[in-house]
Amino acid sequence: MAATIKIRAKAKGGVTTVKALMNHPMETGLRKDKKTGNKIPAHFIQEVVAEHNGKVVMTAYWGTAISKNPYISFKFAGGNKGDKIKISWVDNQGQSDSREATIK
Amino acid sequence: MILKRRTFLQRTLATSTVAMAASAGLMAPRAVFAEWPKNAFMAKGVPEALTGLLGTTSANDSDQIKIKAPDIAENGAVVPVTVSTSLDNVESISIVASANNQPLTSNYILPAGTEAFVSTRIKMAKTSDVIAVVKAGGNIYTTKKEVKVTIGGCGG
């Protein structure tokens, strides 16, 4: 799968702010296909894990009510320019992706 | 490539342990955490969702939690919500949209060192309260804010 995560991480005053955008349909399972009338099966990210230099700084569990192409932002103490931030997600159909970025 | 037998064995052993801990094809960090709380996310009501997630519905209202969300959301499919709190020892933040079919939208586990701040975009079926549930120091605190939705964002 192509890279589905965009990460921006910025360190300022001892706090690192991380913003991430993921490409994902986030289907609720309630929507109907207009042509066929069949329900579109649920397809959504269940878990997002963010790591800073290998240490987990945030875990998110998501339901279907997170918007399509999800956005997430969080802050943690510490983190320097050049450190690595890794974000991974797993969805309910077993697909997954992860991406690493550098703190600016 | 020539691998020393000892190293080879050690590596195989290490990888297979990880593979067993995480179910096939998933990343190693996943093994460290509890399962996705299915009961909480599938619950149809707010109390059931909270019981499924935190094991209790008893919560204290707190004015130390701030929800930043629009008063009127034109599009219920994308409602930006930011939750922050000045409470100490925050363990997790959950965001609930009370009128949704499945009210629990998300739950964030924040280890020590991570600030009690989270921002995301949620879907809302109709006008309702957005409830922020914060677990801090073993207690549960909530606060809520009404968001008016002109076009619903769940199913349709």
Cα separations (Å) of B55 from A23, A100, B33? Answer: 33, 35, 17
Number of A:B CB contacts under 8 A? 126
- Binned at pLDDT 50, 70 and 90, residue B26 comes out as very low
Cα–Cα distance measured from residue B124 to residue B154, given in angstroms and rounded to the nearest whole number? 6
Residues forming beta bridges with residue B81, ordered by sequence position: B120
Q: Are residues B28 and B44 in the same domain?
A: no
Q: Are residues B2 and B41 in the same domain?
A: no
Q: Are residues B51 and B115 in the same domain?
A: yes
Range of the domain at B54: 35-151
Quick check: B83 and B117 in contact, CB under 8 A? yes
Element (H, E) at B21: helix B5-21
B83 touches chain A (CB under 8 A): no
Cα–Cα distance measured from residue B59 to residue B53, given in angstroms and rounded to the nearest whole number? 13
Number of domains in chain A: 1
A10 touches chain B (CB under 8 A): no
A74 touches chain B (CB under 8 A): yes
Specify the residue for token string 């606060």.
Answer: B143
B114 residue type, one letter: T
* Terminal Cα-to-Cα distance of chain A (whole angstroms): 26
Is residue B156 assigned to a domain?
no
Q: What are phi and psi of A100, to 5 degrees?
A: -115, 140
Q: In this complex, do B111 and A56 lie within 8 Å of one another by their Cβ atoms?
A: yes
- Looking only at the bridges linking them, the beta strands covering B90-97 and B128-136 are antiparallel
- Binned at pLDDT 50, 70 and 90, residue A32 comes out as confident
Q: In this complex, do A73 and B119 lie within 8 Å of one another by their Cβ atoms?
A: yes
Q: Is the pLDDT of residue B153 over 70?
A: no
Number of domains in chain B: 2
| Over residues A69-77, mean pLDDT | 94
Residues forming beta bridges with residue B21, ordered by sequence position: none
Q: Are residues B121 and B62 in the same domain?
A: yes
Is residue B17 assigned to a domain?
yes
User: Considering only CB atoms, which chain A residues are within 8 Å of B37?
Assistant: 61
Whole-number average pLDDT of chain B: 80
Is residue B40 assigned to a domain?
yes
User: Considering only CB atoms, which chain B residues are within 8 Å of A74?
Assistant: 108, 110, 114-115, 117-119
CA distance A37 to chain B (A): 12
Q: Are residues B51 and B78 in the same domain?
A: yes
Q: What is the DSSP letter of A44?
A: -
**Chain segment A43-53, per-residue pLDDT in tens:** 999 999 999 99
DSSP string computed for A22-41: E----B-S--B-TTT-PBPP
Percent of chain A with pLDDT over 70: 97
User: Considering only CB atoms, which chain A residues are within 8 Å of B113?
Assistant: 57, 76-78
- Residue B103 CB coordination number (10 Å): 26
Looking at per-residue confidence, does B49 or B118 come out higher? B118
Which residue from B25, B33, B117 is facing A75, i.e. has the nearest CB? B117
Handedness of CA B89, B84, A82, A55 (dihedral sign): positive
- Residue B31 CB coordination number (10 Å): 14
Burial-class residue A14 by CB neighbours within 10 Å (0-12, 13-18, 19+).
exposed
User: Considering only CB atoms, which chain B residues are within 8 Å of A24?
Assistant: none
**Chain segment B68-105, per-residue pLDDT in tens:** 999 998 888 899 999 999 998 999 999 999 988 889 99
Q: Are residues B115 and B41 in the same domain?
A: yes
Closest-CA residue in chain A for B49?
A63
